[in-house]
Amino acid sequence: GIQVEQSPPDLILQEGANSTLRCNFSDSVNNLQWFHQNPWGQLINLFYIPSGTKQNGRLSATTVATERYSLLYISSSQTTDSGVYFCAVAPSDNYGQNFVFGPGTRLSVLP
């Protein structure tokens, strides 16, 4: 099956810093989403981005499907950005079946 890797596994930032999180996947996909799991365990939708670039406030994401990666940019980080960031992909060869999650990047933003 498809392999999903995320890097870095852990990231510690000072408030106000910028960061880039990466998601690599081993096969073509129909769909890609980024989620933020906050310290209370809630999975919050950040981006639905099978291809292209999107921005939402301090966050933006780019997916280059032909090269099998996606990037999540966080600018001017805040302590509320802490948590785990997951990318989830839907493999093209598994049409309509499943989201496969990466292992996540754990982000800690220090005041």
Partner 1 sequence: DAGVIQSPRHEVTEMGQEVTLRCKPISGHNSLFWYRQTMMRGLELLIYFNNNVPIDDSGMPEDRFSAKMPNASFSTLKIQPSEPRDSAVYFCASSSQGVLTEAFFGQGTRLTVV
For partner 1, the binding residues (CB under 8 A) are: 30-31, 33, 35, 41-43, 45, 48, 86, 88, 90, 96-101, 103-104
Residue with tokens 């999107």: 54
> N- to C-terminal Cα distance for the chain?
41
Rounded Cα gap, residues 23 and 103, in angstroms: 10
* Shortest spacing between CB 98 and partner 1, in angstroms: 5
* Shortest spacing between CB 14 and partner 1, in angstroms: 27
- Is residue 89 within 8 Å of residue 34, measured between CB atoms? no
Closest to partner 1 by CB, 75 or 101: 101
* Shortest spacing between CB 111 and partner 1, in angstroms: 27
